[in-house]
Amino acid sequence: MLRTSRFDYGWIVVGAGALMTCVGFGSMLSLAVFLQPISEAMGWSRAGVSAAATLDFLCMAVAAFLWGTLSDRFGTRIVVLAGSLLLGLGLVTASRAQTLWQFQLCFGGLIGIAAGSFYAPMMALASAWIEKNRSLAVALVSAGMGVAPVTVAPSASWLIATYDWRLAMLVIGIAAWALLIPASLLVRPAPHRTDAAAANAAAPPETEWTAAQALRTPQFITLALAHFGCCAAHSGPIFHMVSYAMICGIAPLTAVTVYSLAGFSGLGGRLLLGALADRIGAKPVLVGGLLVQALCIATYLAVYRLGEFYALSVVFGLAYGGVMPLYAVLVREFFGARIMGTVFGAVSAFASLGMALGPWAGGLVFDTFHGYTWLHAGSFAIGLAAVAVALSFPSRRRPSLELGRAAA
């Protein structure tokens, strides 16, 4: 009876995590919708407004590690509650900004810090609650990121068209408080395992494994570099997908549907690859997904027609969306639940740096060469490097304690 109750409430925690990632990342990425209205209304350059997005990812990179460490020490509920308060505060204060630097500080700083509080801590908690279908559970938490483009962004667009950008951002901020504060109160720590599987586990006791040891192991470095390479490879093509489609002669509104289809496909990829990882293991699914992602990026060099763009968006979305939750599964398997918030927070920090690199590099390539050929070629090379790094993951369940001591 105890097991059934734990299993049921674990999925409530998963649902709360999915809502948090949806609202948190959706609010941050909605800047793409606000970009033109803010620039026209305030007379700020698009580069200046867009800089808030880069600042978001940089702040999230630092914050992800700190939030993960705090969640291990003080619990996940207080972390996501603080993040919920900061997210709403960032949106509300950004809606009142009178100067560009104020907007960049509020939207790029506060929202980036807040977004970092949801992903790593809730992924860690979901993996601790759900044992049998762990890959699917973390995929569902991550799926909130895939839902965001079809929920928060359209809502922001409608509010801007009906009112103005300031009221739209204010309403989203208040809605974030209304949704996420109650969701944070649903978060509970996972009970300790007492079943026979825990007693017979071949892995060494988690109390013997410290965060300091884990962060110095080759396994952590490999995982962090693979996540960095994965995000650096796909972030540029995703961010510049609409612009590239327009260069190929596709109408602007139609080009947006190409981007939306990729995001929606990414939602399905998270669920599909998550379920597959529960059957055959996270490592082979991750390696396969990264390889498909790299091949899709290379295919952009030969795609020009709308039908080709749609077909590629489906496969590309399945690949890049599907691999994202698998890093959390590998961290849990290698380093255990007790320090997962810290370790996965550090891995997520590298991923955020990769996400920040792609859009900036794509813009630099376009300004220099007046096209995206070298963006796709470079991203393809980085994607192949991520595959090579992922192949070096150890096959055994967790690294030995001796390896951690040697690294120390």
- Per residue in 327-341, pLDDT (tens digit) is 988 988 888 877 888
Please compute the mean of the pLDDT values over residues 17-26 and round it to a whole number.
91
Checking if the pLDDT of 382 tops 70, the result is: yes
Q: How far apart are CA 371 and CA 243, in angstroms?
A: 10
Is 50 exceeded by the pLDDT of residue 404? no
**Which band of pLDDT confidence, cut at 50, 70 and 90, is reported for residue 19?**
very high
Q: Which CATH superfamily is domain 209-393 in?
A: MFS general substrate transporter like domains (1.20.1250.20)
CATH pick for 1-187 out of 1.10.10.60, 2.40.50.1020, 3.40.640.10, 1.20.1250.20 = 1.20.1250.20
The DSSP secondary-structure symbol of 109 reads I
Residue range 113-128: mean pLDDT, rounded: 89
Q: How far is it, in rounded angstroms, from Cα 395 to Cα 271?
A: 23
Mean pLDDT over the full length of the chain: 84
Asked if the domains at 1-187 and 209-393 fall in one CATH topology, the answer is yes
Q: What's at 276, amino acid-wise?
A: L
The answer to whether the CB of 340 falls within 8 A of the CB of 398 is no
169-185 exposure pattern, b = at least 16 Cβ within 10 A, e = fewer: bbbbbebbbebbeebbe
Q: Which residue ranges make up each domain of the chain?
A: 1-187, 209-393
| pLDDT confidence tier of residue 213, bands split at 50, 70 and 90 | confident
Please report how many Cα atoms fall inside a 13 Å half-sphere around the Cα of residue 166, on the Cβ side: 7
Identify the pLDDT of residue 103: 95
Q: pLDDT band at residue 367, thresholds of 50, 70 and 90?
A: confident
Q: What is the pLDDT of residues 139-169, one digit of tens each?
A: 888 877 777 777 887 788 889 888 999 999 9
**CA distances in angstroms from 189 to 5, 160, 326, 380, listed in the order given:** 14, 39, 22, 41
Mean pLDDT of 179-183: 96
Residue 8 confidence (pLDDT): 67
Q: What is the dihedral of CA 202, 204, 206, 211, to 10 degrees?
A: -130
- Predicted confidence (pLDDT) at residue 208 exceeds the cutoff of 80: no
